[in-house]
Amino acid sequence: MATSNPDVPRNTIHLELGARSYDIHIGRGLLKEVGVELTRLQCAGKVGVVTDRNLAAYYLKPVTRVLKAAGYQVVPIVLPPGERTKTLRSIGTVMDALVNARFERSSTLLALGGGVIGDITGFAAAIYQRGIPFVQVPTSLVAQVDSSVGGKTGVDHPKGKNLIGAFNQPRAVLIDPATLRTLPDREWIAGLAEVIKYGVIEDEAFFEYLEQHIAPILDLSDVPVTHIVKRSCEIKAQVVSEDEREADRRRILNFGHTIGHALESLGGYRGLIHGEAVAVGMVYEADLARHLGYCDQNVVTRVRALIAAAGLPVRLPPNVPFHALWDAMQQDKKVSAGTVYCVVPERIGSVRIVPLEKAQTRAWYETVRVGDTGSRQRIPRKKQPR
C-alpha cells in the first residue's frame, strides 16, 4: 500500500455523492505526492497528463518524474493556454493522443492546470471509450476553489461558453496551494472573487475572516491562503453534494454571475476576465437586491468594500445601455422559460434565488449612476517575491 509523505500536512474534504464520492486533498507540496495518490486510487497503467504550455514550463517535468517513480507510463498532452483552447478541436487533439498511445478503459487522465485544462480533461475523460477515470490537479485559484470541484466539464462553442459538456466527477482533487506562487497576479486576484462569493452565499464568519485577513492573503501568506482554499472547497463540496446536477440549490453558486456573465458576453467588454466580471456582478446584484427590498444597504457596502480591498473592479464599464445588459442577461443559462433568475443576498451568509422582472430591473438600473457606485479602487499590494 502506498504511503504518503508525513512532511506534507494536508486537509482532506470528502465530497459525498454515493458511488461518485471523492476526496479533495489540500496541502503544500502535494504535487510531489501525485504518483502516490494515483497508486492509492488504484489507477493502473498509462497516465495522460493534460496541461497547457505555461504550466508545462513549471510543472510538467517534476510531475512526470513522480508519476514515473510510481511506475506509470506518462503521456504528456500540452495545449495552448487560454480560454480559446476550450474547444471541440482540443478535445480532438486529446482523443488523437489517447488513441495513438493506445489508452485503455483502465488508463487515467490527469488535469494539470487551470479551469480551462480541467474542463477539457474532464470532458475528454467522459467520452474516451465511454469514460475513463480522471484526477484534477488544479493550479489556478479559480480551479482550486471552483472549477475542479463538482464535476461540470466541457468546452465552448463559438456561439456561447460551456455549451458542450457533461457532468463527470473526478476520482480525486489534489490541490497544492504552492502552485499559486507562479500564477500571474491578475489571475490570482480574479480568483478571489469566487472566494468572496462563498462568504456571501453561505458563511458570514468566512466573509469576516476575509475582511480581516485580506492584506496577508494578497501577500500570499501560506496559512491564510491555504485556509481560504480549504473553506471554499468545503462550501462548494457541501452545495454540490446537496444538488449535483444543479436542479436547484447549486444555483446559489451563481451569485454575481447573472450580471457577470452578461458583462463578459457584451462584445465591447472583453477586457474583463471572468473573476473580474463576477466581482462587478456581485456588487450590482447586491445593490439590485437592496433596491428590491431583499437586503439592507449594509450588505451592499460590505460586499463592495471587500471586493475593492481585494483589488477587484467594483464598477460597471461605462455606457452599458439597459437593453444591452438585459439581453445579455437573457443569454445566460440560468434563464428558464424566458425568466431571468438571479441570486440575491438577504444578509451576508444567506442568499435566495428570485425571478427578475424587466420593468423593475430597468427601474433599478436607472438609479445606478455608472461610475459612482464604488469607493476608489484599491491598488493591490505587491506580493512578496516568489
Q: Which residues contact 57 (CB under 8 A, 6 or more apart)?
A: none
CA distances from 111 to 37, 118, 187, 374 (A): 14, 5, 18, 38
Residue showing the smallest CB distance to ligand NAD in the complex: 115
Catalytic residue selected from 86, 171, 261, 290: 261
Q: What cell numbers appear for 257 in the block? A: 454571475
As given in the structure block, the three cell numbers for residue 247 are 436542479
Catalytic, 130? Answer yes
Q: Which residues bind ligand NAD (CB under 6 A)?
A: 52, 54-55, 58, 81-83, 86, 113-117, 119, 139-140, 142-143, 146-147, 150, 152, 161-162, 179, 182-183, 187, 274
**Closest by Cα among 238, 232, 237, 282 to 257:** 282
Is there a catalytic annotation at residue 236?
Answer: yes
**Planar angle of CA 323, 308, 264, nearest 5 degrees:** 35
Tell me how far apart the alpha carbons of residues 281 and 186 are, in angstroms, rounded to a whole number. 18
159 is catalytic: no
CB of 331 to ligand NAD, least distance (A): 15
Q: How far is the CB of 294 from ligand NAD (least distance, A)?
A: 25
Catalytic member of 86, 171, 250, 302: 250
Residue 246 a catalytic site member: yes
CB of 194 to ligand NAD, least distance (A): 7
Q: Is 194 a known active-site residue?
A: yes
Catalytic residue among 83, 187, 208, 246: 246
Beta carbon of residue 152, minimum distance to ligand NAD (angstroms, whole number): 4
Distances (CA, A) of 128 to 97, 99, 131, 210: 11, 9, 5, 41
User: With respect to ligand NAD, which residue has the nearer C-beta, 16 or 296?
Assistant: 16
274 belongs to the catalytic site? yes
- What are 175's three cell numbers? 490541490
Q: Smallest distance from the beta carbon of 360 to ligand NAD, in angstroms?
A: 29
Cβ proximity to ligand NAD, 179 vs 232, nearer residue: 179
Q: Is the CB of residue 274 less than 8 Å from the CB of residue 257?
A: no
By annotation, the residues acting in catalysis are 130, 152, 194, 236, 246, 250, 254, 257, 261, 274
